[in-house]
Every structure is written in C-alpha cells, then in structure tokens.
C-alpha cells in the first residue's frame, strides 16, 4: 500500500474514532431547552426565525475558553515531559496557533506544508432550567424579558437526506456544558491517547515501507493539524463550576479549513455534518460581520467587528414562551400573539397541545 492510500484510510479511521468520543461527550436533551432573552431580542428572533451563533472567542464568560486551554496545556506538558517523541511539542505549537493567529505566524516557517489554518466555532446558548429566577436576572431582561422553550426533537441529529428535504432543520451539534473538571480531563486525556496511538501507527508504516523522510514530515504535519481540530468542539463545552446553576446546553457549528502548500485548497469541513453545497450559500452558514453597537443580540466587545452565523428554525419548533415575572401577563401575551401572527404563525394553535403555550413566570421576583 502506498503512503497516500494508507493515509486516506488512516485519517478516516482516526476521525471516526474521535467523533465517537465527541458524540459521547454530547448529551442530547430529553426535555425542552430554553433561551432567556430581552423582549426586543425575542421579537427579532420570532420575526426573522433566526438564531445568532457567536464566535466562541466572544462568549460572555472569557474564562471558560481559558479554563479549557489551560487544562489542555497542562496535559500536553505532561506528554512532552514523559514521551520520548518530539511530536507533542509540535502538536502544542499548532494548537495554540489555531487559537491565536500571531502564534501561527511564529511557527508557520517550521510547518512549511501548511499555508493557513482556520478553525471557527459558533455557539448558541440554551438551558434546561424552567422559569429560573437567576436566569431571569442574568439573561431575561432583569425580569422583563422572555424565555423561549424549544422542543427536544429540535436538537436530535439528522441525516443528510433530511437536510436536503427540509433545509430549516438544525445542522448544529448539541453540547451539554460540563462543569466537572475531572470529567473534562478524562475526555481530553482519551483524545490525546488516540492522537499518540495514531501518530505511532503513521511512524511505523513509514518506517516499515521506507517512506522518504520528507514525505513523512509532510504527512506528520498534516495529521497534527487535522488532529488539533478534534479538540476544538470541547473548548466551549467546559465552564467553571460556579455557573452550574445555569444548566447550560449549546448548539454549535465548527468550521475547519486547512490549506496546504503541497495540495489544492479545499472546501471547509463542517463537524459533525457535511453541509450540501447549495445550502452552504443560502442557509445557516453564512458568516457575517456586524458592529457591536448595532447588534443587540450579541455581546458588546472592544473589537470593531464580531463574526456570527445565522441559523434558521421553524416556529413549530417552539413549544413554550414564558413571560418574565416583572411583566404584565395579559398585556404582554397580547403583544406576543401579534408578533406570532405577523410572523405568519397560526394563532389558533396557541395554548394547544400541538402549538405554542404562552406561560407566566411564577417565580417571586425581588
């Protein structure tokens, strides 16, 4: 077997193994998930039937990515100290170049086959907490906002055939936020073991088949770049235990593009689903830039631009709409019905089993 054929099969098996671990780490909800927001954002979401997915680097808790990367750094440092193989230092360099373009500029001369690495993760936050006082305070307009409850079926994985038949179904993975460091470490440790096992397998094949050293270096660099992307979906999935009360879930897209000097440029891969080309242009994965001051659905940043992704949904995907504890229920319900009607929802279905139920918060707000 030649190197190219071996590498293609080898990489496919590696990716499947990693995806299985990532799928195990993702816990699909059995019940509805809720998005707490201001009334103005609620109106915009319903009118457009769009959820705004933010770049994971721009989340409202800057420590969570730092927590994840610090844990990974510690585990990689242990590998560097204990292993006789030098590839862990290379892995570390590539990983941090993905998180920081300036780091990539420092190392790109050493990885001569890699022209560009682009890894972007876009997330949208929900939670399993129903009518939660802290969440009304933090995200629900300080009690004068709305909580949108999406049906659990909305978050189930779908096939490519279903994608083509109904392009408004979700194409994002659902990730349950983990607040326990030990569990997060166990997942990262297993992924690192898989990377090491496969690197040794690649080295063994090249040695046994007398592969030219330069060809081996090219494949090793390519594999290191590919393997780093397997860790990225987990980065926004771990938060400090102080946030445990939020009971958070996230929908996310991961866009991974690696450009090699020795190969033609390729289209980005989308984990965990490959998006049909015609829909890449029209639905859900169009990256946009907006100024923070005019995008109230996004957090305010010092930077002048924020990347986000538009993700479409159907009004029938909504099971409940909760009215904040500081709002007048009857007046607000009337406004919600008008908003739904304007969005062409069949208002006769409101408060029925098959339709959207409008509920009043019962928490004693103070």
| pLDDT one-digit tens code per residue, 51-102 | 888 887 777 777 777 888 889 889 999 988 888 878 888 888 888 777 776 7
Q: For residue 247, what pLDDT is reported?
A: 92
pLDDT-derived band of residue 43, with 50, 70 and 90 as boundaries?
Answer: very high
Q: What is the mean pLDDT of residues 172-180?
A: 85
Say whether pLDDT at 217 is over 90.
Answer: no
**Distance between CA atoms of 352 and 101, rounded to whole angstroms?**
52
Q: For residue 40, what pLDDT is reported?
A: 94
Q: What is the mean pLDDT of residues 204-228?
A: 86
Other beta carbons within 10 Å of 226: 18
| Residue in 336, 95, 70 with CA at minimum distance from that of residue 226 | 95
pTM of this prediction? Answer: 0.81
**Distance between CA atoms of 244 and 257, rounded to whole angstroms?**
33
- Rounded to 5°, the CA angle 208-260-116 comes to 130
Q: For residue 320, what pLDDT is reported?
A: 97
Beta bridge partners of 359: 322
* Domain boundary assignment for the chain: 3-360
Q: For residue 277, what pLDDT is reported?
A: 39
**Do 315 and 46 contact (CB within 8 A), yes or no?**
yes
Q: For residue 350, what pLDDT is reported?
A: 96
Q: For residue 306, what pLDDT is reported?
A: 47
pLDDT-derived band of residue 305, with 50, 70 and 90 as boundaries?
Answer: very low
* Structural element, H or E, at residue 186: helix 181-208
Q: Which two tokens stand for residue 56?
A: 């994971």
Q: Please provide the average confidence, as pLDDT, over all residues in the chain.
A: 79
Higher pLDDT residue, 186 or 296? 186
Say whether pLDDT at 188 is over 80.
Answer: yes
Q: What is the mean pLDDT of residues 139-167?
A: 76
Among 191-195, 200-204, 284-288, 317-321, the least confident range: 284-288
**Do 213 and 105 contact (CB within 8 A), yes or no?**
no
Q: For residue 113, what pLDDT is reported?
A: 65
Number of residues written out for the chain:
366
């Amino acid at each position: 077997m030649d190197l190219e054929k071996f590498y293609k099969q080898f990489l496919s098996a590696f990716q499947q193994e990693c995806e299985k671990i990532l799928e195990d780490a993702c816990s699909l909800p059995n019940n509805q998930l809720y998005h707490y927001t201001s009334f103005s954002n609620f109106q915009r979401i319903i009118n457009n039937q769009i959820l705004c997915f933010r770049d994971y680097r721009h989340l409202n808790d800057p420590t969570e990515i730092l927590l994840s990367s610090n844990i990974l750094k510690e585990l990689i440092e242990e590998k560097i100290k204990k292993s006789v193989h030098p590839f862990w230092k290379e892995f570390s360099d590539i990983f941090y170049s993905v998180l920081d373009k300036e780091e990539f500029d420092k190392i790109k001369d050493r990885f001569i086959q890699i022209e560009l690495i682009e890894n972007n993760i876009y997330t949208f936050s929900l939670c399993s907490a129903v009518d939660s006082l802290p969440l009304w305070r933090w995200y629900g307009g300080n009690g004068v906002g709305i909580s949108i409850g999406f049906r659990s079926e909305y978050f189930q994985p779908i096939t490519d055939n279903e994608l083509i038949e109904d392009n408004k179904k979700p194409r994002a993975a659902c990730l349950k936020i983990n607040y326990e460091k030990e569990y997060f470490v166990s997942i990262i440790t297993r992924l690192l073991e898989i990377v090491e096992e496969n690197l040794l397998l690649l080295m063994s094949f090249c040695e046994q088949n007398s592969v030219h050293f330069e060809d081996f270096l090219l494949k090793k660099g390519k594999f290191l770049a590919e393997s780093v992307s397997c860790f990225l979906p987990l980065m926004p999935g771990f938060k400090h235990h102080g946030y445990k009360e939020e009971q958070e879930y996230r929908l996310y897209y991961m866009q991974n593009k690696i450009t090699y000097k020795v190969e033609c440029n390729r289209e980005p891969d989308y984990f965990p689903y490959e998006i049909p080309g015609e829909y890449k242009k029209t639905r859900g994965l169009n990256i946009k830039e907006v100024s923070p001051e005019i995008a109230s659905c996004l957090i305010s940043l010092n930077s002048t631009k924020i990347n986000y992704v538009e993700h479409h949904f159907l009004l029938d995907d909504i099971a409940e709409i909760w009215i904040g504890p500081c709002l007048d229920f009857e007046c607000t319900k009337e406004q919600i019905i008008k908003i739904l009607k304007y969005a062409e929802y069949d208002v006769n279905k409101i408060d029925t089993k098959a339709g959207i139920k409008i509920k009043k918060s019962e928490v004693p707000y103070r």
